[in-house]
Structure 1
Amino acid sequence: MAVWARIKNMNFKELLAVFKVFISKPRYILPTYRATIETIRICDDLYQKEHHKNGKANAFRHALWNYLICQKCFKISSSVETVRIWSDQFTGLHEKLSPNQKLAKAMDLHNNRFGQTLFKGSQLKTEAIIKLLQERMKEAFKVSKVEEIRKTKNNLVYIED
């Protein structure tokens, strides 16, 4: 399992950072884990390895992941803002610990926030959010500079075709 493999490869400083995030909201550990596993399964089924690149499938994955984290944690919290902040903290930590370049990190953070914003307490079925995000992929912007990402808030962004 990719999640467990990533955890096993973390150094002490990285593990401590993850621990600090999870200790603040221990009830969100299991829903966040389930959202992560579900996201990877869906993206593997739909896009195979393409979602690991920096294209539209990657933008889809980040938005879906954040939407599902919010959705699953909302069942515990019932606060849209609390789960949005949690999702932002957790997925932001992922970006901080990942070896991405500056543009790729900015793209991922933007698409994370896109999924969080899309949630807004809605309880769309997984099939409906997949369909909605696939429609939004058609309107995604290709970017080559961080500044271009800052100019769009209502669209997914990607780097490679």
Structure 2
Amino acid sequence: MKIWSLIKKFNFWQLFKVAGLVLKKPQYIFPTLRATKKTLVICDSLYGQNHHKNGKANAFRHAIWNVLICQNVFKISKDEIKAITWSDKVTTLHEKLAPNGDVPKAMDLHNNQLGRRYFRILKIATECEVIAFIEEKLQQAKLVIGIEEITSFSEDLVYLSE
């Protein structure tokens, strides 16, 4: 993970936002970084570089990232709501800072939210169980074109291209 190279690209406002988040809950930083690294390893293994595009692999990545962050933070906090709230703050900030268009950003936010919802079911699931669960959900993922469509599929993962 090339965290330092990412941080060097941030402007002052972005650094301020990240620092504010980190300072509020420093005990959650390493679990979040572990979840992020694990997410990338899993997605690279299953999908190669395709998870960096806007297809089903990307929907999988966002959902599993949120589940893993929640699981890791839950181990420390012992509080489901705190884990979900933290994951929401981290992944939403990521989307605000990422150079994404409006539709891909809406897609990512939607799939992040579903990942947090899946966590409630997968709270103590193994990595293999999490992967299998999300892969099953991916079978019903919906191809969308615009933001309006994304909001109409509140129960399904969404993606923009094959």
TM-score, normalised relative to structure 1: 0.96
**Runs of 4 or more consecutive aligned structure 1 residues displaced over 2 Å after TM superposition:** 1-5
Residue 6 of structure 1 and its aligned partner are, at CA, apart by 1.4
Q: Deviations over 1:68-100 (max 9, x none)?
A: 000000011111111111101100000000110
Q: Which amino acid aligns with 1:81?
A: I
Distance 1:145 1:51 in 2: 20
Aligned to 1:155: 156
How many residue pairs get aligned? The number is: 161
Aligned to 2:93: 93
Q: Which amino acid aligns with 1:105?
A: K
Q: Which amino acid aligns with 2:11?
A: N
Aligned to 2:20: 20
Q: Which runs of 5+ in 2 are unaligned?
A: none
Aligned to 1:103: 103
Aligned to 2:35: 35
Q: Which runs of 5+ in 1 are unaligned?
A: none
Distance 1:82 1:89 in 2: 11
Which region of structure 1 is more displaced relative to structure 2, 9-18 or 84-93?
9-18
What is the DSSP-based 3-state SS (H/G/I as helix, E as strand, rest coil) of the residue aligned with 2:68?
A: helix
Matches within 5 A, 1:70-81: 70-81=70-81
Q: Relative to 1, partners in 2 of residues 1:32 and 1:129: Cα closer, same or farther, differing over 3 Å?
A: same
Q: Deviations over 1:21-46 (max 9, x none)?
A: 11111110000000000001110111
Distance 2:78 2:147 in 1: 34
TM-score, normalised relative to structure 2: 0.96
Q: Which amino acid aligns with 2:81?
A: E
